[in-house]
Amino acid sequence: MAAPKPIGRLISHVILDLDGTLLNTDSIVSRVVKPFLVKNGKTWDSKNAHKLVGKTPYEAAAVVLEDYGLPYSTEEFLSMVTPMFSEQWGNIKPLPGANRLIKHLRSKGVPTALASNSPRSNIEAKISCHHEWKESFSAIVGGDEVENGKPSPDIFLEAAKRMNTGPSNCLVIEDSLPGVTAGKAAGMHVIAVPSVPKKTAEFSSADEVINSLLDVRPEKWGLPPFDDWIEGTLPIEPWFISGPVIKGFGRGSKVLGIPTANLPAENFSDVVSEHTSGVYFGWAGLSTRGIYKMVMSIGWNPYFDNTEKTVEPWLLHDFGEDFYGEELRLAIVGYIRPEANFPSLESLIQRIHEDGRIAEKALDLPVYAKYKDSPYLRKPLQQANSSDGQAELNSK
């Protein structure tokens, strides 16, 4: 996560991108395009998905047609998939921190615009499914309302114009390189929140690069700060996962001296994909032993350069023995920090222990301690799933 570059004046207005910044649109893209390709004898390659980020619908369609050699014109392709996308707009989930950021800016009276390469009608359809989103924006600008989409600055300049302010007063938050380029070309300050993992280095033109919207610090830009951090931790809407403890990379105890209890990621890959990488904490239930405090990492672990997104919980208790195969259920209730790389193994180990101390102390606070009594943590594995945890959460 890159530190923000110094600014010469305070920011008064914010402009947000939509797809990939506020909404997890990537899951919908694969849900629509993947079966379409199968019907045409092609196989979806998720490694090429980053080529679609930040593109207008027309540009994205052209990329898909070229990459997969489909026998359609761009117009024909769009006419076939657009209705399929429209059916999915209501299923797009907000990215972590999106609701919190929008609510904060509105409550503090910060004029905020929404500026997306998507057509205005698509934007309206997407945000209509999210409570009070539309009312939170002073202006909404779609890609069909300006001459050129991103990376041209037109959308952002139009957004500033509609808010009756100058470009230098505006802070743009974007997930794509075309969006960052557009914001800088408009003469605005830009925070990049890359939606494609392990691509931070490509966003050097941004004024700040962060891991997720959970890491936005408005006070760095002269805007009102969040007031929900508690002793270095951020309460989040709890989420729940479970599975048998398996052998991991063999580096927890052997390399780090920190025994992690790894879970089979394929059991809950959809759930993990909805949550940003970083360091979290909460409660862990072992079927035959009890309930313990835990801290965990989600992500690619930059120091070891994982190729897959993993979940690695560390139960804050000295067991003295392995417990492979035992049922483990996790209630994740708080966030500590973004995923980060470290210059040395020693500095990584030091930071993990610091995360453990933060979690150990925070879990005694009432806002987190109440989840220790969650029935989800005590259920047999075959009866415990994330929907059970969500049902319990909804009843609180």
Write out the catalytic residue numbers. 17, 19, 312
Residues whose CB falls within 8 Å of the CB of residue 200, separated by 6 or more in sequence, listed in order: 1, 2, 194, 209
Q: In the chain, helix, strand, coil percent, each to 5?
A: 40, 20, 40
Which residue, among 51, 61, 53, 59, has the nearest Cα to 82 in the 3D structure? Answer: 61
CA dihedral of residues 45, 50, 51, 56 (deg, nearest 10): 120
DSSP symbols for 267-289:
GSHHHHHTS-SEEEEEEEEETTT
Tokens of 14: 């914010």
* 268-271 contacts at long range (C-beta below 8 A, 24 or more positions apart): 268/241, 268/242, 268/243, 268/311, 268/386, 271/239, 271/241, 271/386
Q: How many CA atoms lie within 13 A of 355 on its CB side?
A: 26
Neighbouring C-beta atoms of residue 311, cutoff 10 Å = 26
Identity of the amino acid at 42? K
Sheet architecture: strand order including 139-141: 139-141, 112-115, 13-16, 170-174, 189-192, 208-209
Residues in the chain: 396
- Across the chain, how many H-helices and E-strands are there? 11, 11
Residues whose CB falls within 8 Å of the CB of residue 98, separated by 6 or more in sequence, listed in order: 21, 22, 23, 213
Which residue, among 35, 34, 50, 41, has the nearest Cα to 70 in the 3D structure? Answer: 41
Between helix 74-86 and helix 57-68 the angle, nearest 10°, is 110
Please give the Cα distance from 384 to 242 (Å, whole number).
7
